[in-house]
Amino acid sequence: MRPPREDTEPWYKQFWPWFLISLPLSVVIASIVTINIAIESDDGLVSDDYYKEGLGIHKDADSTTLAKTLGIAAAVRFDRETGAIAVTFERPLPAQSDVLSLKVTHPTRPNQDQLVQLTPSDGQEYLGRLDPLGPARWKLELRPDDRSWRIEGRLALPDTTTARLD
């Protein structure tokens, strides 16, 4: 008969105690990292006045319907190097407007949103200038000062520098 085997190394030099300690330790570290991310990051997707925004959706739907009824549609060209933006309408607007507002919205980061005033260049073209835009699928919303109609589109940068608004 063989005598029972004895471990001659201390416990801290063994594999299994460290393996068993590492499992709960990794969970504690992951929890600390997750809490740190939750505290320091801002989720800009939640709006403070969500109820008012919900009521405004109905008004926006009416202005979009009016734009479709009037047949308002436009093409947008954006120059990434200079920030110049040109909006060309397919046909003349029903009422000539001195200034149009173009809202450029980032899909997830509201601090990158921009609002630019476009001024007429000729009968069917309006021009303006934007700050540099990063790569994203930007939402474009164009409306006159009286907010009577609205057309929308998407500008997918850096893949393309043109978009259609309708």
Say if 64 falls within a structural domain. no
Say if 130 falls within a structural domain. yes
Domains: count for the chain: 1
Indicate if the alpha-carbon torsion angle 133, 138, 142, 148 is positive or negative: negative
Band of the pLDDT at 74, cuts 50, 70, 90? very high
- DSSP codes of every residue in 82-131: T-EEEEEESS--SS--S-EEEEEE-SS-GGG-EEEEEEEEETTEEEEE--
Say if 128 falls within a structural domain. yes
- Which domain range does residue 128 map to? 73-165
The token pair at 55 is 């009521």
User: What is the mean pLDDT of the segment spanning 127-154?
Assistant: 92
Distance of alpha carbon 102 from alpha carbon 23, whole angstroms: 53
- pTM, two decimal places: 0.67
User: pLDDT by residue (tens digit) across 78-100?
Assistant: 998 999 999 999 888 877 677 89
Calculate the average pLDDT of the chain. 86
